[in-house]
Structure 1
Amino acid sequence: MTVVTVMLVLAAGVMRLEQRRERSANLAAPLLTQVVGIGPDGTRIPISPETDPSVVDFYPGTRVLTPDSAALLTRTTVTTEDASASAALAAQQREWVESGTIPGAGGPYAEMVETALLDIHTLLLDNGASLAAWPGAWRYVWPRDAAFVAVALTVSGHPEDALRVLEFVQRQQPSDGVFEARYLPDETGVPDARGKQSDGLGWVLWATLRLVESLPEADREAVLTTLRPMIDSSTDAALRLTDTADALPPHSQDYWEVPMYRLSLGTAAPIALGLRSASALQGMLGARTTARSAERRADRLEKSIATEFGAHGYPRELGGDASDASLSFLLPPFTAKASPAVVRAWRKAGREMARPAGGLAPGVGWRNDGISWTPQTALFALTGAAIGDTGSATWRMNWLRDHRTAYGSIAEKVTSAGAPAGPAPLAWSDAVTVLTADLL
């Protein structure tokens, strides 16, 4: 083979590689649902992107479909009972919204926040199961997502619903205190062998503390008593997992939901948050010895995170070099103060995680598909608001507001072309958006 031939072959290979990279950087992901409506019998009815918008009509200020719309979508006949039932459900949902507050009411995000709360309420089942989204692969309860929903319900004036969400999670908790990745909404167990994700116990302790602290003193004892089994079990698990010389827990899956062989910041940081929350909760319960143990363990774990992760710029994995959105968990509102070193790493990660449409990837090392993820974008908005970086927070909130579906629901993803993708609504994104508006 001549030198010229070799050069031509190499050039062709480079061209094919560049073409593959270009294609991968602009993945066309489908939108699975635009919104979820409620039928006259309370059944959730997903609205697909192919559905003619002219047949979709909701009662004003609700996600309850009018009887005619529900009949067309489900190919059934409208009855007098249907009309009466739909009107009653619409009145109930509207009353639910009005019984609470709209964080950011009167501001630029009021409509988005109200819509997010409607979608959270629509994905919340009677038994307290907070669905991540409606399509089958998301129609489960993740303790992590449910914890954020519980806090969003707390700050929007719906503590009873927040308690229902946490009670559901409590009923699923196994004897060792470490939650599985997700649970079936009918409370019959887990859908598969995805495995445990130990960050969940940290998130539920945080959500429980946020709920309890929001209540009048006279109401706190009842909630603490109701949730004490989960508080104690989660506290015990957090102390057991961190019973090491440096208090760093074993590796576990985190929000990336991929097999892990090294400890991630997405596991360590929520467990540290959980220990801080456990200390406060155990103190309220009168368990002073346990409260002190949790506080001391949180001190050690936070110090180890600063030493072991911080020495390398706070990467996603211990010993790694690429950061991810879990940096947000080391900053307010999840911590009491903002470490300058963490803020610098957070800003750097935000730049490196940026995607073509303007949102963020889950991490710097995420696959090169061009897709923005709304939960991580919202988390950076929340952290920005909490540390006083209102410029970045409002920019990201504007981006979330401007990349919703035609019905105002926040989808899980946004393609490089700026189109919503995946399931919509996504409860985790809705919840973080509500929390961010509350801070702003």
Structure 2
Amino acid sequence: EGDSQLPTHVKPAWFTMTLSEDERDLCRREREQTMLAAPIAQTSRDCEKLLKGLKQTNDKKYNWHFEAPIDLLANPEYTKVVERPLSRSEVEKKFVKEEYNTMGDLVADIRLIYNNAIKYNGAAAKKGIEIGKDICDSARIMLSRVDEKLVVIGLDAADRLGKTQVDQSMNRHKIEVQREASERKDAEAQHERRQQLMAKHELSQAEIEKLNKEEQTRLAAFDTARHSAVLGGTSSNVRLMRRKAEREKAALMEARQTWQIHRLSAATIWTQCRRFANTSKEKQSSSSSTDSNTPRDANNSNIRKRGADDLNDSSSTSKVVGRPPLKRKALEAATTPLCYSLPKHRSNATPLSMIIAPSRVKSRVNRQRPLLPTPLMHVFSLGDDDTTENRGGRGGGGGAVVDAME
């Protein structure tokens, strides 16, 4: 309808284009190659058209030679000439079974049928045998029919396949473009998501740093206040601990002083005891020397005798003959525990007992001379009214011993 409106002298470019025979053959071969190289799924209808066209009634007088398979038992020499025997019925069976991949495979088998006939019957045709010549001519005619059918079918098939290829290429291009667009979109979305995550991460890092700084500032202020409270002594716990430490320190110093006093007192008592023993020995020796010149009464001799017995009992290493009479006060002081007073300890500790020296003293009252227990030095606390002066003497009870010894 659009072409009718155009002027008669105006024609499309494709209509006025002129091609040579070689160019037309080239175009025809290109269309044929395109059709034969296409998959059988796209050219199945074209294959059916070709097989139906070869069975037309007009070509039956040429085609009947190639319908049925060759009887190889009747013609045993056929396989020696023809490598692959084939017939049109076998080609149709293979096509139905979908054993062909492309239309080119089907066309190659069809041409092989007629080429086998020419090859096997060519020698007979040259010899002038009619049957051989007839088969060769029929085969050549059918080959020409195949070429004619392919030209007609090829125009439609090439156009359809070309459109299909164009559509496929367009689809591939569209798919590629869509894929690239999708990838670009995904990349942009991923980049944007990464940017958001980075911004959120930076924000969170900033918040964390801010919180850390605030926490450090708060802890620093708390430490400063605590140190100032400790240094200034404003904390009640610190004051209590300080007082407790001072009390413990004072108690420790007082206990140390008490221990020094105990040690010195014990040493003093030991010294006095040795001095008393030495004095007793000296007096005894002096009295023994004067006994030969000065007579004594019976009472003094008895006292000296008892003193010598006491000295023998107290000393196991040396035996003294005589001993001067001891005063009753000195003997009682020697047989009683030695005591001395100390300042009262603030912790109100229990009295301590220390062994001064073992001795065996003979009692004046008991004539059986029992072994007295070891004298003990009682270390105890005195009150405000129980002082050294009230007890008399130097060092409490020890003073009585010293006075007696003196």
TM tier, shorter chain? under 0.3
RCO (CA 8 Å, sep 6+): is it higher in 1 or 2? 1
TM-score, scaled to structure 2? 0.21
Which has the larger share of helix? 2
TM-score, scaled to structure 1? 0.19
